C-alpha cells in the first residue's frame, strides 16, 4: 500500500496560506499514524519532498533544508520522481493519493489537475473542469444565471468597455483569482479602468460587479463523499466598522489560515434564510460539479440572498465549518482520500480512433497541394 502525499504551496499569491493548509493536513495524517509525505511546490514552480512534520516557519525562505527535488512526469509510469545519482533507478514515489491544498493560481485553476491526470495520479478536490470553472468568476456567474440561481450581474472589465449595464459604485475583482486579493471598490467606470493599469492582480482579466453595501457575507461548505453534506452556515467578520469588503487580512492573517479568522459560527440567521442558503448551496454544487470539499460564498440581507462565488479548495479545507453535525478533521481527510480513489477524475478514452480516417487520407503531400 502506498503513501498519502499532501501537496501545498505553488506559484500563487496564496502561496503562504496554502502552506498553512497543507501543514494542517500533514500533521493530522501523522497524528493518525498514516504513511505521509509532504510535497512543497515552490514559488518558482519546482516540486520538493519535505518532512511532513515541519512548521510554517521552515518555509520562510522557500524550500527548507533537506528537501529532495522532485520531477513530475506524465504518461505511463508517471509520477513524482526524486532526483538521484546515475546508478539510482528513476522510480516515482509510491503514492495512493495526493491531497491538494493548493490555493489560487495554477493549483486551483485546473493546471495542476490536468498534469496529475496526465500522470495518472489520484488526487482530491475539483476536477480539471471544476477547478477552471470555479476560478473563472465571469464563467461561474454565467453558469449561475443559466441555472437560474440568484447572483449579482457582472461584466468583463476591459479598457474598451463603454457601458456597464448597472449603476455604480462598483467592485472590481480579478477574473481568475480568489481570497479577496486584488479586490477594490470604485465609484465609476473611469476609476475602474484606471485600476487595470495599476493593479497587477488584474493583468489576466477583471470583472466588474455592483457594490452593494447592504449585503453581508455568509458562507457554507459542501463535501461530496460519501454523500453530499453541508456544513454550518458561517458569517465571516470584517475588520472594523468601516470595512467595505471581506479582505485577505480578515480571512487569513491569524496564524492558522481560515481556521483562525474571526467569524460568527453558526451564523445567526432566520430559519427561512438558512433553508434558502442550504438549498442554493446544493444547487450550486450540482451545477458546477463540486468534488471534494468546497466553500460557497453568499451575499445577503434580510430580504435578498445571492451567490457570490465558489472556492473549490478552501482555506484549511473548510474543516472548521463542519460542526453541525461535527466532522472531525481526520474523517474529513479520510473521506477525501476515499473519494479520490473511488471517483477518479482521469477517464481518457480513444474509442472511435480506429484508423478509418487515416486509411482514407491518402498522402499528406496531396492534402497540402
Q: Return mean pLDDT, the chain.
A: 92
Q: Tell me the average pLDDT across 293-299.
A: 98
Given pLDDT bands bounded at 50, 70 and 90, which one contains residue 256?
low
Q: Map out the domains of the chain as residue ranges.
A: 3-123, 125-152+213-325, 154-211
Position 39 pLDDT exceeds 90: yes
Q: Which CATH architecture has domain 125-152+213-325?
A: 2-Layer Sandwich (3.30)
Cβ atoms 20, 316 nearer than 8 A: yes
Reduced to 3 states (helix: H, G, I; strand: E, B; else coil), residue 216 is strand
CATH of 154-211, one of 3.30.1490, 3.40.50, 3.40.1000, 2.60.40: 3.30.1490
Q: What is the 3-state secondary structure (H, E, C) of 54-78?
A: CCHHHHCCCCCCCCEEEEEECCCCC
Given pLDDT bands bounded at 50, 70 and 90, which one contains residue 87?
very low
Position 84 pLDDT exceeds 80: no
Position 241 pLDDT exceeds 50: no
Q: What whole-number distance in Å separates Cα of residue 70 and Cα of residue 93?
A: 9
The reported pTM is 0.91
Q: Which of 86-100, 125-139, 175-189, 247-261 is the most confident on average?
A: 125-139
Q: What whole-number distance in Å separates Cα of residue 156 and Cα of residue 189?
A: 12
pLDDT of residue 178: 72
- ∠ CA 101-1-78 to the nearest 5 degrees? 60
Q: Tell me the average pLDDT across 234-242.
A: 73
Residue with cell 475583482: 173
Where do the H-state alpha helices sit in 89-167?
A: 111-119, 128-135, 137-146
Q: What whole-number distance in Å separates Cα of residue 301 and Cα of residue 218?
A: 10
Q: Which CATH class is domain 3-123?
A: alpha beta
Amino acid at each position: 500500500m502506498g503513501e498519502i502525499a499532501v501537496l501545498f504551496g505553488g506559484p500563487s499569491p496564496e502561496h503562504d496560506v496554502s502552506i498553512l493548509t497543507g501543514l494542517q493536513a500533514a500533521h493530522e495524517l501523522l497524528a493518525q499514524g498514516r504513511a505521509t509525505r509532504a510535497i512543497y511546490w515552490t514559488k518558482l514552480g519546482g516540486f520538493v519532498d519535505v518532512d511532513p512534520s515541519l512548521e510554517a516557519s521552515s518555509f520562510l525562505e522557500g524550500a527548507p533544508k533537506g528537501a529532495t527535488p522532485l520531477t513530475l512526469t506524465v504518461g505511463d509510469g508517471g509520477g513524482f520522481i526524486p532526483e538521484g545519482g546515475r546508478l539510482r533507478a528513476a522510480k516515482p514515489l509510491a503514492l495512493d493519493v495526493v491531497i491538494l491544498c493548493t490555493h489560487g493560481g495554477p493549483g486551483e485553476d485546473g493546471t495542476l489537475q490536468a498534469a496529475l491526470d496526465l500522470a495518472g495520479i489520484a488526487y482530491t478536490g475539483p476536477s480539471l473542469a471544476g477547478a477552471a470553472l470555479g476560478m473563472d468568476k465571469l464563467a461561474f456567474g454565467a453558469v449561475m444565471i443559466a441555472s437560474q440561481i440568484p447572483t449579482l450581474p457582472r461584466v468583463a472589465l476591459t479598457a474598451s468597455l463603454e457601458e456597464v449595464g448597472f449603476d455604480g459604485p462598483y467592485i472590481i475583482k480579478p477574473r481568475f483569482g480568489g481570497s479577496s486579493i486584488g479586490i477594490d471598490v470604485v465609484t465609476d467606470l473611469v476609476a475602474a479602468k484606471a485600476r487595470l493599469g495599476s493593479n497587477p492582480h488584474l493583468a489576466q482579466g477583471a470583472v466588474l460587479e455592483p457594490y452593494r453595501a447592504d449585503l453581508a457575507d455568509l458562507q457554507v461548505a459542501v463535501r461530496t463523499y460519501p454523500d453530499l453534506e453541508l456544513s454550518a452556515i458561517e458569517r465571516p467578520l470584517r475588520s472594523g466598522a468601516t470595512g467595505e469588503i471581506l479582505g485577505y487580512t480578515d480571512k487569513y492573517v491569524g496564524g492558522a489560515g481560515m481556521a483562525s479568522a474571526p467569524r460568527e459560527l453558526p451564523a445567526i440567521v432566520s430559519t427561512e434564510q438558512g433553508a434558502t442558503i442550504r438549498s442554493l448551496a446544493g444547487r450550486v454544487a450540482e451545477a458546477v460539479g463540486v468534488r471534494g470539499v468546497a466553500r460557497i460564498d453568499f451575499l445577503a440581507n434580510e430580504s435578498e440572498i445571492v451567490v457570490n462565488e465558489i472556492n473549490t479548495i478552501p482555506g484549511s479545507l473548510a474543516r472548521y465549518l463542519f460542526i453541525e453535525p461535527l466532522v472531525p478533521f481526520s474523517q474529513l481527510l479520510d473521506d477525501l482520500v476515499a473519494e479520490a480513489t473511488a471517483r477518479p477524475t482521469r477517464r481518457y478514452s480513444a474509442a472511435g480512433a480506429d484508423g478509418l480516417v487515416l486509411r482514407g487520407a491518402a498522402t499528406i503531400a496531396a492534402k497540402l497541394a
